[in-house]
Every structure is written in structure tokens, then in C-alpha cells.
């Protein structure tokens, strides 16, 4: 028991954020059936094409090549995304579009892929591990078919992210960091995904679903599971990220003085 | 580190051990930070060191009122000696005193040059600057916030404050954050008493913590049988990671995760496979990495330290032997820039438990060839040996000195045998045909000189195992200056890139004839270097190999020039150079050598075989009627075959001279006394001579040193300097006739002289730690 006479002028929070502890698990690799050093890994021809493209962007020195660790990890995640084709994404307004190929968020990087990257770039394996564990964007374990990344950073939190979270948890019967028994959904709490204007939001594989309510998110998950078409972007009537009054500013070209003469810049 | 500080504080309290304990009590009191802290705020004892302030004043909130100014780091005396090598200096103003510091130093180095210790955790002069612990914050005039002294270059006119209130506050803040996640387990932590965090929290720690959260937990990592990890204690200074990647050349260690979840580790379970991994134990400023064999065996303040040198390989590392109650508790490195810098190999550091096992502690006599050895008195054993000396004709007496023999005992052995007309005194060195030329059997370039080489050829050596620290120096050279290294010999990982030219004699011959492309590289270099492993001479065609090496060496003019001897042998044992200096006969091939099969020098089968710590005996070739005397400290192979065993002392128990691979004579020190009835080795030999009626002409240690000075002055002057061979002499001695013809064995590949780094001699073979290393790491 703390003696009453001791004043504590401030107490500080050092809690590990949920994204790191619950969402990503430990930063140590544990061999599992589908993920060990001996698991085979082959790059697909498309991946190899992408790899060539990325490698061309960096200097051909040992140091320079190491810069390609990040894009290559992402290529691996694109390659392992098997759910993409099953998501029937409907753009919610004109000008929005659905991706025709996996972008990466729906996949994961097996240990063997990390090793393949290290071999390819001629760098220590540890260098790849360090990058892969640093960013929450890289999934180092097999995720459920649909990986729900729920943003709970301040703007989303203020707009009710935890209600969304509770609703998902109740509906799926899992907690942050867990995968449903049938392997369909994985739930992760993450930090700001940059759609704060349309908060609260979740990202599921490559798509953002914004302006959620505890009810609409349940319907969304059911639709995904059933393979029904789902609307991407704002789940309400919002267009882009316009406020309720529609477009209120920047309606005409900005008045001068300009820092450079825009008329001199060719169109496109 | 703050050791100076601590020493000062200790000096103001009580002398010696007592004050040290007090200091640490102080440290604990000052920063105990859980709920019980209220009761921990007791008035300090009057004897508490001055630096912690005699009586703790409490403010209204119950916090200790700490002095606004930091205790001055030392009695400020700014008259410093400048290193003449860096003539250029700049003036900076440190704590109001204008001082000259070397140009290009960081602030932390500048402060050090004028004697001010800036507290630090991550900075280490031999590693790259990481700047991540922030403990070294200092104030610079006009800088908006405190800056990290380790990462800030000193600029002319800079006004630096190392003990202002801002600095104090900043460091206290850093300390509080470090302690927020550091467990309060000092009482069960092996680093306790020599922990940088403990020492510095004494000055910058608060008397309680303000966190209400539980500390984070981090899983311990399995780094192998040598390094114990308690990763919750880690403060993420990354010294271990930087050492592993920069010095040791293993990439297995790194930082995974980020932010509060960051961990030091290997990600996948990996042991740290390096011959010098033990150094991360010394580097770790906290108790996260500690020595597994030493765990929970002693506290630093119970230990008595003796400065000595290591003899388990030919490198001659300077060590500190820590003992308690007549027992070696641990071995640590001692700084010697010319040899080991501040590192030692794992065998040097961890083989000490071999000193306590399988020891010979009483004389033994085998009454009958069929019977086991029986304990005997010194008198009986020595008299028996003396009789044998008297009764055996000189031509049938043979002596063999092992890899751990000191120069004094080898000299006494030689003198004894000579007195009985025997010339067959051998040593366990396959230097073969080059045994007469000091330039050839030592490392002519010197150890530190390896870092001046600009093209290196390795022959028949696995440098990483034969001389791990020499390899680390070469690695630095390769990494920083891109020096080209090529090797004819085993294809092994050396932690840097090298050209593997092959492993057969044909490549050597190509090199010797100047037809190999690498000859151009050697010829174009200013300071080329050829390093030969003794494996090259452990072959049936050793003479031919030596001839080819000599031909190669004399064909490249830059290899032997004024001030540079770019040719040398990597001697794997501590006895080698001393033995050859004394003129002992090397065995043609230690692996194949049975007694009596050396160099053709012995015609008759031996009647009396004297083994001075020599264990590589080939029983089949020993004549059945030979009388075998074994003098040594371990019951290894040699002792099992002996008819008489005379217990000698190990290197931690005697003062003995050893010459390392570069020919530098250094002395061990007596840290503990030999077990049981064991005696100093050379004295045993002296006693035999007395009983045999031909007493050696020296009785005391001064006497034998005088004799040594007469025989091999380079070993006796006690200066620990190297007596370089003049280039002209070296050239003359190495010259060969190009027309000579030899039979070469092109089938047998060049191999390293050792196959298991962890077990190379009687001490490391007796060590359980080395046995577990062998299990974990040996191929
Ligand atoms: S384990 Fe020790 S040396 Fe390594 S980062 Fe942690 S505190 Fe530093
Ligand atoms: S806070 Fe949720 S997207 Fe920015
Ligand atoms: S010593 Fe300067 S930041 Fe660590």
C-alpha cells in the first residue's frame, strides 16, 4: 500500500500501444507449420518483374541495394495476398476506383521470403528482420483472409473508434491481435491511417471503409464473408472527404502572388 | 566511466571494500522507486559518502532536496598533455576554462582530454557513435537545447557546460526514463557493483520513481553457452550490436521492433557464433549480458585482481585474473593497444574452469608398468627421475616441451638435458624448416602492424580460429580501407570478403614462381603481408612448402624493406616463439610425431622421455622400455602414459615468461597458489639436476633470468618490446636456391593447424565451458 503522505505530482504512462503488443504479437520469430526457415519460397514472375523495377531505383552498391528491403518486403506481401480477388469492391462515388491487383496489405511476409530478400540484396538477414519488425505494415505471420486494421488514434477515437472495436469484437468473438477460428478475420488495432476526416474507419486488406457505425461495420463484415459486393470508402453518403456543407473553400484558382508562374508549366 | 567519481566518493567515506558497499547501498536508497519508497526515505547514516550528501533534506512533498550543482567531476586541473601525433588543436571553453583539445574530437572526447568524465552508456571509443542513450547531454552556449556530447564535434570557441543545472536536469530526466523500464533487481544481478547504470543513478537518479505502470517484460534470448541474457535489463545502448557487426563480424544480433517494444535480439533463435563474443559481456553497461559460467559465483568487491597475460593461444592477450580465496573466478581483458586492445577471445576468457579440473596436485609414480600411478613424495619421485637421468646415455634422453611451457622451464629443461649430453630437446612447434630464422617464425609485421598492410596473403590458416583478434584487426583493415586479402588454404568464413585462391600446393607454387595473378597485387602494394599458418608445415612436404614460401617472400621486394617485415607465421601456441628462441628443436609434424620421430635427429629409441606439459605423444612409436616422465599441471594424455608424474603449475599460478607470436616477451603473474603439492616448473627441473649430481648454475629467479639474458636476451629484458629482425638479415636468411627440387604433395589440401578453437591445450580440454562451446559451435 502506498502511504498517503507521499504525493505523486505526476504519473506517466509507459503502456505499450495496443498496435504493438496486441496487434503484432512478439518481435521474435517462432517457427510454425507454415512459417519456418525451411518453408519453400518462390517469387512469381510478376513479383520478379516488380523486383527488377524497384532495384533499378537504387544505386547498385551494397548500401544502396539495402534500401530496397522495404519495397521488396511489400512485393512479398502482394504475392501472398490470396483474398484480393474475392473482395467485390464497389467505389462509392465517381472517380473512386477499386484496385485490380493486390496492393500488399492483404498478405504477409514469411520468414523464408525475408531470407530470399536478404540473399537477393546480399545483406545480412538481420537487416531484413529489423525493417520487417519495425513497421506494423508488414505482417510477419499469416493473417486471416480479411485483415481488419482498426484505427484508434485520437480523431478516430473521438469519433467512436472504440465503439466500432467493441462491435467487431462482439460480432467476431475475437480480441485485438486474434484471428477467428475459421481463419476469415484478423483484428489489429493500428495508429492513424490518414483518413481522419472520415473517422472512424477501418482498413480491410487494401481498402478503407470510412464513416462507420457499430451497425454498418457488422454488415460490412458479413458482406465480406459472404462474398457480397461491398462499398469502399465512406459508408454514408459522403463524397471524398467533404464536410456536411459540401465544398466551401478553394473553389476558384488561388489569388497571387504565386511562388512560380503556373502558366509556364505545361498542362499535365 | 564514473569509476573515478566513485573512487573519489569512496575515498571520502571509508577505505576499500566497505565504502564500495556503502556506495551501493546509497545507490539503492536513492532510487528505490516503488510504493515502499516512503519507508525507504530514512535519514542516511553519517558515514554515507559525501557525494550523496550527508543528510537527505526533504521538501514538503517528501522529495529529497538535491544540490543544484553537480558534484565537480574532479579537482579541475586543466593542464593536460597533448598527444604529439595530433598537433593541431582547437580551443574550446569547457566549464569556463579555455582548453586546447585535438581537432576533430567529439565533445565527449574533448572533455576526456581535459579530464572531465561525461557520463555515457552508448558511447564507446572503439565502436561507431550511436548517440541513442542521451546520457551524455551537455549544454552548449547558444544551443537551443542540451546536445549529446558523443555525437557533437567540438568546434573552435564552443562554450560547453558539463555541470550546469540544465545539464543536471537533462541527465536526471534521461536517467528517469531509463529506469522507468529497468527492473529493480540489482541484488540478484551479476553486474551489481560494476554497473554503469547503478553508478550513474547514484548521481542522476531520483530517490523514487514516478511511474505507476508495471515495467515492460522482455524475453531472454539464448545466445549460447557463454553469454547469459536478462533482456529486461537492457537499456538499448546497442553497444553489443555494434560490437558484433563492427568488430566481431557477426550479423546475427540486431534491434527488432520499435519504440517501447524494441528488443535486442536475433529474431530467429541463433547462437552468437563468434570466437570473441564474450566481449559483449564487458561492453554491456548494465546486467543484460553477463557471463554464463560466472553467473552468481562472486561479487566484484570480493575479488582480488592480478594483472597477467594469457597463454592459451599465441596472441599474448593482456588479462586480469580475478580471484577469490585462492580460486580463479573470472578472466577479463586488460588494455594493451599493441596486442589485444581491450578485447580477448572466448577461450582466453572462459577456459578458466579448466584450471580447477583434472589437476595434478601430487607427485605420482607407477611402480610397475602394469599398475596404475600411485601417489608419492616429492623426494621419491625426484630421486627416481634423477637416477634415470644418471643411468641413461645422453643420446637416449629426449625431452619435449608442450604448448603451455614457459620460457624459464624450457630453459631449465634444455640446460638439464644438455648437462646429461642430450641435444634432443623438442618443442611442440611445426615451424619446421624455418626454425632458425626469427623473422620467419614470428609475426614480423607485429600485431598492430597488420593494420598497415595493404595487400594480404594467407597461407594454410584459418585466421578466425587461430588468432581471432588478429583476424578482427584484419577485418577492420578490409572494411575501412578495402585492403585485398587472398588465401591459399581452407575455405572458411573469416568475417570479411577475401579471394580464395585454392587450397593446394600448386597455387603456392604459382605464387612463388610469380605466375599467379595475385603476385601483381603483392608487387603493387606498399606494405604487402604474407601470413603463414603453421598448418603449412605440418605436412610431409613441409620442406618444399617452406622453400616455396621463402621463394615467394624473397621475390616481392616490398615484403622485406626498411621498417616493414611483411612476412610472418601465426604461431598458435604461447610456447612456440620462446621455444624456438631458446633453440629447441621443432617437431617436423606435431600431429604425426611420435616420440622419436622428429626431424631425424634421434637415431636410437629413447630410453628416457621427459614431457614438459607435452600431450601429443604417439604411444605406438614409443619404445616399450622407455621411461616416461610427465611434468605438467593437467592429467591429460601425457600424464596417463607416464611412469612418473611431477605436478607443475598453470599460468595463473606462476611467474613465467612467454613470447607471443610477434616475439614480444611478457610475464604472467601469480594470482593463486598451485594446488596441493604442485611446484613452479623450472624449480622442479632445478631440483632434479641437484639430485642427479649436476646442479644447474642458478638457484633463484634472478639467477634463471640472468641465464635467460645470456641465452636469449630478447626474452629477458622485461620491457615487453619487440626485437625486430633487421631486413638485411631476414633477406639473407630467407634466400633460397631457385633451382632446388622438392617432391610436393599436391593431393593434400592446406589445412589449419587447429580444428577446434575451443580445445587446443590441456587447460581448455579440461574446461566444461569449452566442452559446451564445442558442442554448440564446432562444426
Ligand atoms: S544488451 Fe547491453 S549492450 Fe546490448 S543494447 Fe542492451 S544494454 Fe546495450
Ligand atoms: S485517426 Fe484514424 S485515420 Fe487518422
Ligand atoms: S553516450 Fe552520447 S548519447 Fe549515449
Closest CA to B318 of B338, B288, B290: B338
Of residues A268 and B206, the one with the higher pLDDT is B206
pLDDT digits (tens, 9 = 90+) for B418-438: 999 998 888 888 766 678 888
- From residue B636, how far is each of A146, B333, B611, B633, B765 by CA, in Å? 65, 27, 12, 9, 8
- Going by the DSSP 8-state scheme, the letter that residue A126 receives in this structure is H
Determine, yes or no, domain membership for A134. yes
pLDDT given at position B212: 86
Q: Check residue B342 and give its pLDDT.
A: 93
pTM over 0.80? The answer is yes
Q: CA-based angle B761:B545:B567, to the nearest 5?
A: 75
Q: pLDDT > 90: what percent of chain B? A: 68
Give pLDDT, residue A258: 73
Residue B28 predicted with pLDDT over 90: no
Q: Is A123 annotated as a binding residue?
A: no
Query: B695, B689 in Cβ contact below 8 A?
Result: yes
- Do A160 and A226 lie in one domain? The reply is yes
- Residue B154, pLDDT > 50, answer yes
Task: Kindly state whether residue A113 falls inside one of the protein's structural domains.
Answer: yes
- Say if A217 falls within a structural domain: yes
CA angle B277, B280, B281 (to 5 degrees): 110
For residue A2, give the chain B residue with the closest CA: B35
Give me B413's grid cell: 629443461
Is there a single domain that holds both residue A57 and residue A151? no
In whole angstroms, how far apart are CA A246 and each of A91, A208, A241? Answer: 19, 21, 9
Flag whether pLDDT at B595 surpasses 90.
no
| pLDDT at residue B86 in the model | 56
Distance CA A207, CA A211 (A): 13
Cβ–Cβ < 8 Å for B562, B699: no
Dump the DSSP string for B185-216. Answer: -GGG-TTTTS-HHHHHHHHH--SS--B-SPPP
- Residue with the bigger pLDDT between B772 and A268: it is B772
pLDDT in tens, B365-402: 999 888 999 999 999 999 999 999 999 999 899 999 99
Tally of domains within chain A: 2
Structure confidence at residue B44 (pLDDT):
37
Residue of A nearest to B221 (CA): A28
State the Cα–Cα distance between residues B749 and A32, nearest whole angstrom.
Answer: 42
Supply the DSSP symbol for B451: G
Report the C-alpha gap between A109 and A74 in whole angstroms. 8
- B59 at interface of A, judged by CB pairs closer than 8 A: no
* Residue B217 at interface with chain A, using a CB cutoff of 8 Å: no
Query: Tell me: the pLDDT tens digits for B544-570?
Result: 999 999 999 999 999 999 889 999 999
* pLDDT confidence band for B10 (50 / 70 / 90): very low
Quick check: A77 and A101 in contact, CB under 8 A?
no
User: What's the pLDDT tens digit per position in A68-104?
Assistant: 999 999 999 999 998 999 999 988 777 778 899 999 9
In 3D space, the residue among B443, B451, B534 whose CA is nearest the CA of residue B725 turns out to be: B443
pLDDT score of A69: 97
Is the Cβ pair B256, A133 closer than 8 Å?
Answer: yes
Rg for chain A (alpha carbons), in Å? 22
Query: Cα B679 to the chain's mean position, in Å?
Result: 26
Containing H/E element for B22?
A: helix B16-31
- Closest of A225, A201, A188, A7 to residue A105, by C-alpha: A188
Please tell me which of the candidates A7, A14, A111 has its beta carbon nearest to residue B61. A7
Residue B111: pLDDT band (50, 70, 90) is very high
Query: Tens digit of pLDDT for each residue in A236-258?
Result: 988 888 888 888 888 888 787 77
- Place B49 in a pLDDT band, splitting at 50, 70 and 90: very low
Which pLDDT score, from 0 to 100, does residue B259 have?
A: 86
Cis amide leading into B565 (omega within 30): no
- Beta-carbon contacts of B237 under 8 Å, excluding residues fewer than 6 positions away, are B121, B122, B130, B132, B133, B284, B285
| Ligand 2 atom showing the smallest separation from residue A192 Cα | 4
Max mean pLDDT range (A218-227, B560-569, B623-632): A218-227
Q: Which residues, other chains included, contact B375 with Cβ-Cβ below 8 Å and sequence gap of 6+?
A: B362, B363, B364
Q: Report the range of poorest mean pLDDT among A15-19, A46-50, A132-136, B94-98.
A: A15-19
Residues whose beta carbon lies within 6 Å of some atom of ligand 2: A 151, 153, 155-156, 192-196, 199, 201
Instruction: Report residue B566 as a C-alpha cell.
Output: 611483411
Nearest to B635 by CA among B613, B608, B610, B609: B613
Q: Is A192 annotated as a binding residue?
A: yes
CA nearest neighbour of B365 among B762, B647, B766:
B647
3 state SS of B547: helix
pLDDT band at B56 (very low <50, low <70, confident <90, very high): low
Distances (CA, A) of B677 to A98, A155, B352, B362, B449: 88, 80, 20, 5, 43
pLDDT tens sequence across B268-293: 988 888 999 999 999 999 999 999 99
Cα torsion angle, B459, B465, B467, B468, sign: positive
CA distance B635 to B614: 11
Do the domain assignments include residue A157?
yes
> Per-residue pLDDT averaged across A154-159, rounded?
96
Tell me the pLDDT band of B66, cut-offs 50, 70 and 90: low
From the list A2, A13, A124, the residue facing B251 with the nearest CB is A124
Pocket-forming residues, ligand 1, beta carbon under 6 Å: B 234-240, 264, 283-286, 288-289
For the cut 80, the answer to whether the pLDDT of residue B592 exceeds it is: no
Average pLDDT over residues B194-214: 90
Give the C-alpha separation, B524 to B70, whole Å.
Answer: 57
| Same domain (yes/no): A122, A174 | no
Task: For residue B197, report the distance from its CA to the centre of ligand 1, in Å.
Answer: 12
pLDDT for res B57? 65
Q: What is the phi/psi pair of residue B733, to 5°? A: -70, -30
- H helices present in B482-575, as ranges: 505-513, 517-524, 542-555
Q: How far apart are CA B153 and CA B107, in angstroms?
A: 6
Element (H, E) at B415: helix B407-419
Please report the sign of the dihedral spanned by the C-alpha atoms of residue B267, residue B269, residue B273, residue B274.
Answer: positive
Clarify whether residues A129 and A193 are in a common domain: no
Distance from the Cα of residue B102 to its chain's centroid = 30
**Same structural domain, A70 and A163:** no
Radius of gyration of chain B (CA): 29
**Which residue, among B506, B513, B515, B501, has the nearest Cα to B457 in the 3D structure?**
B501
SS3 A114: helix
| DSSP secondary structure string for all residues of B661-720 | TT--EEE----SPPSTT---HHHHHHHHHHHTT---S--SHHHHHHHHHHH-HHHHS-S-
Contact of B116 with B95, CB cutoff 8 Å: yes
Contact between B490 and B751 under an 8 Å Cβ cutoff? The reply is yes
How far is the C-alpha of B494 from the C-alpha of B249, rounded, in Å? 9
A252 within domain boundaries? no
Q: What is the pLDDT of residue B576?
A: 93
B12 confidence band (pLDDT: 50, 70, 90): very low
Which of B177, B210, B267, B497 to mutate: most A Cβ within 10 Å? B267
H runs (alpha helix) in B70-227:
107-113, 165-180, 196-204
pLDDT value of residue B17: 32
CA distance B108 to B116: 9
Confidence bin at B58 (pLDDT 50/70/90): low
What gap in Å lies between CA A24 and CA B256, rounded to an integer? 12
Nearest residue in chain B measured CA to CA from A4: B38
Q: Is A259 annotated as a binding residue?
A: no
Pick from A197-206, B16-25, B245-254: least confident: B16-25
Average pLDDT of span B38-58: 42
B170 has pLDDT over 80: yes
Q: Can you give the pLDDT at residue A255?
A: 80
The model's confidence at residue B766, banded by pLDDT at 50, 70 and 90, is very high
Could you tell me if A227 and A137 lie in one domain? no
Chain B residues in contact with A37 (beta carbon < 8 A): 268
- Among B62, B213, B257, whose Cβ lies nearest the Cβ of A133? B257
- Interface A-B, measured as beta-carbon pairs within 8 A, has a size of 91
- From chain A, the residues in CB contact with B229 under 8 A are none
B454, B525 in Cβ contact below 8 A? Answer: yes
Own/partner pairs for B149-152, CB < 8 Å, 24+ apart?
A: B149/B106, B149/B107, B149/B108, B149/B111, B149/B118, B149/B120, B150/B106, B150/B107, B150/B108, B150/B118, B150/B120, B150/B122, B150/B123, B151/B106, B152/B106, B152/B107
Mean pLDDT on B114-130: 93
CATH code of A78's domain: 1.10.10.1590
Instruction: Say yes or no: A153 and A170 in one domain.
Output: yes
Does A41 share its domain with A138? yes
Q: What is the mean pLDDT of residues B585-601?
A: 49
Which residues, in sequence order, are bridge partners of residue B570? B533
Q: Is A121 in the same domain as A150?
A: no
Asked if B211's CB is within 8 angstroms of A11's CB, the reply is yes
Phi, psi of B319 (to 5 degrees): -130, 165
Q: Which residues partner with B667 through β-bridges? A: B657
pLDDT (average), residues B168-175: 95
Ligand 1 pocket test target in B132, B238, B266 with most atoms within 8 Å of CB: B238
Given an 8 Å threshold on Cβ–Cβ distance, is B260 in contact with A17? yes
- Mean pLDDT of the B213-242 span: 93
Confidence of residue B54 (pLDDT cuts 50, 70, 90): very low
The confidence score (pLDDT) of residue B521 equals 94
Query: How do the residues of chain A divide into helix, strand and coil, expressed in percent and rounded to 5?
Result: 35, 10, 55
**pLDDT value at residue B424:** 86
How far is Cα B125 from Cα A178, in angstroms, rounded to an integer? 46
- Please check whether residue A201 lies inside any domain of the structure: yes
Return d(Cα B751, Cα B504) in angstroms, integer: 9
Whether B704 has a pLDDT exceeding 70, the answer reads: yes
Is residue A117 a part of any domain in this protein?
Answer: yes
**Residues A168-180 pLDDT 10s:** 999 999 999 899 9
Distance CA B768, CA B174 (A): 42
pLDDT at B64: 56
Place B618 in a pLDDT band, splitting at 50, 70 and 90: confident
> What CATH number corresponds to the domain at position A214?
3.40.30.10
Distance from CA of A33 to the nearest CA of B (A): 15
- Given a contact cutoff of 8 angstroms between Cβ atoms, the answer to whether B426 and B402 are in contact is no
Q: Which of A136-145, B29-38, B192-201, B505-514 has the lowest mean pLDDT?
A: B29-38
Closest CA to ligand 1's atom 8: B237
What pLDDT is stored for residue B552 in this prediction? 93
A166 and A137 co-located in one domain: no
Mean pLDDT of chain B: 86
ipTM of model over 0.90: no
| Of residues B333, B332, B328, B334, the one with CA closest to residue B352 | B328
Q: What is the mean pLDDT of residues B502-525?
A: 94
The pLDDT of residue B83 is: 52
Strands (E), B292-439: 304-309, 318-324, 327-333, 364-365, 374-375, 397-401, 424-427
Residue A73, SS3 per DSSP? helix
In a domain, residue A17? The reply is no
Same domain, A225 and A207: yes
- List the domain range (segments joined by +) for residue A133: 34-84+107-142
Check: CB of residue B9 under 8 Å from CB of residue B50: yes
Q: What is the DSSP string of B435-450?
A: TT-HHHHSBTT-TGGG
A124 and A220 share one domain: no
Amino acid at each position: 500500500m502506498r502511504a498517503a503522505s507521499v504525493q505523486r505530482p505526476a504519473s506517466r504512462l509507459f503502456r505499450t500501444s495496443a498496435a504493438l503488443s496486441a496487434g503484432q504479437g512478439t518481435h521474435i520469430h517462432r517457427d510454425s507449420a507454415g512459417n519456418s526457415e525451411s518453408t519453400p519460397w518462390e517469387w512469381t514472375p510478376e513479383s520478379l518483374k516488380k523486383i527488377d523495377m524497384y532495384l533499378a531505383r537504387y544505386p547498385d552498391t551494397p548500401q544502396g541495394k539495402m534500401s530496397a528491403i522495404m519495397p521488396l518486403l511489400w512485393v512479398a506481401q502482394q504475392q501472398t495476398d490470396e483474398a484480393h480477388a474475392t473482395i467485390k469492391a464497389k467505389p462509392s462515388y465517381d472517380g473512386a476506383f477499386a484496385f485490380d491487383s493486390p496492393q500488399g496489405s492483404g498478405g504477409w511476409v514469411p520468414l523464408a521470403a525475408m531470407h530470399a530478400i536478404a540473399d537477393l540484396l546480399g545483406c545480412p538477414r538481420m537487416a531484413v528482420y529489423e525493417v520487417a519488425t519495425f513497421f506494423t505494415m508488414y505482417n510477419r505471420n499469416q493473417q486471416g483472409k480479411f485483415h481488419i486494421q482498426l484505427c484508434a488514434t485520437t480523431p478516430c477515437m473521438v469519433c467512436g473508434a472504440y465503439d466500432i472495436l467493441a462491435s467487431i469484437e462482439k460480432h467476431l468473438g475475437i480480441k485485438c491481435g486474434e484471428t477467428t477460428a475459421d481463419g476469415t478475420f484478423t483484428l489489429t488495432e493500428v495508429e492513424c491511417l490518414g483518413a481522419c476526416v472520415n473517422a472512424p474507419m477501418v482498413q480491410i486488406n487494401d481498402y478503407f471503409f470510412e464513416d462507420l457505425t457499430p451497425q454498418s461495420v457488422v454488415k460490412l463484415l458479413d458482406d465480406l464473408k459472404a462474398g457480397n459486393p461491398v462499398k469502399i470508402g465512406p459508408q454514408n453518403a459522403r463524397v471524398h472527404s467533404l464536410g456536411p456543407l459540401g465544398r466551401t473553400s478553394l473553389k476558384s484558382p488561388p489569388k497571387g502572388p504565386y511562388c512560380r508562374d503556373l502558366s509556364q508549366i505545361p498542362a499535365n | 566511466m564514473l569509476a573515478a567519481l566513485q573512487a573519489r566518493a569512496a575515498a571520502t567515506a571509508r577505505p576499500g571494500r566497505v565504502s564500495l558497499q556503502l556506495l551501493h547501498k546509497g545507490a539503492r536508497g536513492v532510487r528505490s522507486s516503488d510504493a515502499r519508497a516512503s519507508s525507504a526515505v530514512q535519514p542516511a547514516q553519517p558515514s554515507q559518502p559525501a557525494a550523496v550528501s550527508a543528510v537527505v533534506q526533504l521538501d514538503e512533498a517528501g522529495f529529497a532536496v538535491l544540490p543544484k550543482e553537480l558534484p565537480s567531476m574532479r579537482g579541475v586541473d586543466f593542464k593536460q598533455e597533448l598527444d604529439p601525433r595530433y598537433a593541431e588543436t582547437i580551443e574550446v571553453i569547457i566549464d569556463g576554462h579555455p582548453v586546447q583539445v585535438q581537432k576533430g574530437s567529439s565533445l565527449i572526447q574533448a572533455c576526456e582530454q581535459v579530464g572531465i568524465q561525461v557520463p555515457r552508456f552508448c558511447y564507446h571509443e572503439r565502436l561507431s557513435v550511436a548517440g541513442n542513450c542521451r546520457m551524455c547531454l551537455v549544454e552548449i552556449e547558444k544551443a537551443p537545447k542540451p546536445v549529446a556530447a558523443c555525437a557533437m564535434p567540438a568546434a573552435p570557441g564552443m562554450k560547453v557546460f558539463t555541470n550546469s543545472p540544465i545539464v543536471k536536469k537533462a541527465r536526471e530526466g534521461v536517467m528517469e526514463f531509463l529506469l522507468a523500464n529497468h527492473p529493480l533487481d540489482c541484488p540478484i544481478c551479476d553486474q551489481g557493483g560494476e554497473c554503469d547504470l547503478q553508478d550513474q543513478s547514484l548521481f542522476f537518479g531520483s530517490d523514487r520513481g514516478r511511474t505507476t505502470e508495471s515495467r515492460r517484460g522482455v524475453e531472454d534470448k539464448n545466445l549460447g553457452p557463454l553469454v547469459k541474457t536478462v533482456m529486461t535489463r537492457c537499456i538499448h545502448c546497442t553497444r553489443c550490436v555494434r560490437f558484433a557487426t563492427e568488430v566481431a563480424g557477426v550479423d546475427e544480433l540486431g534491434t527488432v521492433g520499435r519504440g517501447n517494444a524494441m528488443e535486442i535480439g536475433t529474431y530467429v533463435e541463433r547462437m552468437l557464433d563468434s570466437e570473441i563474443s564474450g566481449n559483449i559481456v564487458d561492453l554491456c553497461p548494465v546486467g543484460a549480458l553477463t557471463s554464463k559460467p560466472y553467473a552468481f559465483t562472486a561479487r566484484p568487491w570480493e575479488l582480488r585482481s592480478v594483472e597477467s597475460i594469457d597463454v592459451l593461444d599465441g596472441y599474448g592477450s593482456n588479462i586480469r585474473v580475478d580471484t577469490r580465496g585462492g580460486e580463479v573466478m573470472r578472466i577479463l581483458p586488460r588494455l594493451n593497444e599493441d596486442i589485444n586492445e581491450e578485447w580477448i577471445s572466448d577461450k582466453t576468457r572462459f577456459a578458466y574452469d579448466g584450471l580447477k579440473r583434472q589437476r595434478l596436485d601430487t607427485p605420482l609414480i607407477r611402480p610397475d608398468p602394469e599398475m596404475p600411478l600411485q601417489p608419492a613424495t616429492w623426494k621419491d619421485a625426484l630421486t627416481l627421475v634423477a637416477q634415470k637421468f644418471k643411468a641413461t646415455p645422453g643420446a637416449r634422453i629426449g625431452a619435449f616441451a608442450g604448448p603451455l611451457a614457459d620460457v624459464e622451464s624450457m630453459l631449465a629443461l634444455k640446460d638439464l638435458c644438455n648437462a646429461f649430453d642430450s641435444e634432443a630437446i623438442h618443442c611442440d612447434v611445426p615451424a619446421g624448416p624455418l626454425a632458425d630464422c626469427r623473422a620467419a617464425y614470428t609475426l614480423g609485421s607485429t600485431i598492430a602492424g597488420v593494420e598497415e598492410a595493404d595487400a594480404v596473403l594467407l597461407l594454410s590458416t584459418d585466421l578466425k580460429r587461430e588468432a581471432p583478434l588478429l583476424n578482427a584487426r584484419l577485418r577492420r583493415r578490409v572494411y575501412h580501407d578495402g585492403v585485398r586479402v587472398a588465401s591459399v588454404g581452407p575455405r572458411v568464413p573469416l568475417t570479411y570478403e577475401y579471394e580464395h585462391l585454392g587450397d593446394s600446393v600448386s597455387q603456392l607454387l604459382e605464387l612463388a614462381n610469380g605466375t599467379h595473378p595475385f603476385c601483381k597485387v603483392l608487387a603493387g602494394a606498399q606494405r604487402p603481408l604474407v601470413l603463414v599458418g603453421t598448418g603449412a608445415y605440418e605436412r610431409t612436404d613441409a620442406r618444399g612448402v617452406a622453400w616455396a614460401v621463402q621463394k615467394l617472400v624473397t621475390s616481392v621486394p616490398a615484403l622485406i624493406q626498411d621498417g616493414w617485415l611483411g612476412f610472418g607465421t601465426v604461431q598458435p601456441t604461447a610456447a612456440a616463439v620462446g621455444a624456438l628462441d631458446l633453440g629447441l628443436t621443432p617437431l617436423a609434424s606435431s600431429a604425426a610425431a611420435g616420440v622419436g620421430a622428429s626431424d631425424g635427429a634421434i637415431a636410437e629409441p629413447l630410453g628416457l622421455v621427459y614431457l614438459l606439459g607435452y600431450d601429443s605423444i604417439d604411444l605406438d612409436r614409443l619404445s616399450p622400455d622407455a621411461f616416461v616422465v610427465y611434468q605438467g599441471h593437467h592429467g591429460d594424455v601425457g600424464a596417463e602414459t607416464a611412469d612418473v608424474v611431477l605436478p607443475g603449475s598453470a599460468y595463473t599460478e606462476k611467474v613465467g615468461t612467454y613470447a607471443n607470436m610477434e616475439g614480444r616477451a611478457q610475464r604472467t603473474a601469480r594470482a593463486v597458489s598451485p594446488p596441493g603439492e604442485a611446484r613452479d616448473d623450472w624449480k622442479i627441473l632445478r631440483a632434479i639436476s641437484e639430485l642427479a649430481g649436476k646442479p644447474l648454475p642458478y638457484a633463484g629467479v634472478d639467477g634463471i633470468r640472468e641465464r635467460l639474458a645470456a641465452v636469449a636476451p630478447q626474452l629477458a629484458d622485461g620491457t615487453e618490446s619487440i626485437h625486430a629482425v633487421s631486413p638485411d638479415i631476414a633477406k639473407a636468411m630467407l634466400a633460397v636456391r631457385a633451382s632446388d627440387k622438392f617432391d610436393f604433395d599436391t593431393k593434400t589440401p592446406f589445412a589449419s593447424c587447429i580444428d577446434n578453437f575451443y580445445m587446443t591445450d590441456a587447460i581448455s580440454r579440461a574446461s566444461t565451458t569449452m566442452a559446451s562451446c564445442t558442442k554448440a559451435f564446432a562444426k
